[in-house]
Amino acid sequence: DAGVIQSPRHEVTEMGQEVTLRCKPISGHNSLFWYRQTMMRGLELLIYFNNNVPIDDSGMPEDRFSAKMPNASFSTLKIQPSEPRDSAVYFCASSFEGGPSTDTQYFGPGTRLTVL
């Protein structure tokens, strides 16, 4: 079991550039989540998908952020254009949703983004 895979692990870019973060969920999971963690705001849910469909994107900060899930094994979070205040650690998580109990989310190692 490889767990949730994220790439790149570290990204340094300049203000105004486009940034794309990638995530591969655990095989068999049907829900995928993007979180952002900063010292000021802690861990925040940005968006989540179920069966590749965006269900709740109310946490996406603004139109510069977009997320896609073209298939069950891949998702991207894109920031265009990037700004220094976007500097944070971005986590992807996945879960299997469909049983009578709650659905445990498993997190990836994160991408540390620095926008200069």
Residues at the interface with another protein (CB under 8 A): 4, 31, 33, 42-43, 45, 48, 55-56, 59, 91, 93, 95, 97, 100-110
Q: Give whichever of 14 and 44 is closer to another protein, judged by the CB atom.
A: 44
Separate counts of helices (H) and strands (E) for the chain = 0, 11
* 2/50 Cα distance (integer angstroms): 21
Shortest reach from residue 11's CB to another protein, in Å:
15
When the beta carbons of 8 and 16 are compared against another protein, the nearer one is 8
Tell me whether residue 81 or residue 96 sits nearer to another protein (CB atom).
Answer: 96
Nearer to another protein by Cβ, of 45 and 72: the residue is 45
Read out DSSP for 13-54? E-TT--EEEEEEPPTT--EEEEEEEETTTEEEEEEEEETTEE
How far apart, in whole angstroms, are the C-alpha atoms of residue 85 and residue 115? 8
Minimum Å distance from CB 81 to another protein?
27
Minimum distance from residue 48 beta carbon to another protein (Å): 5
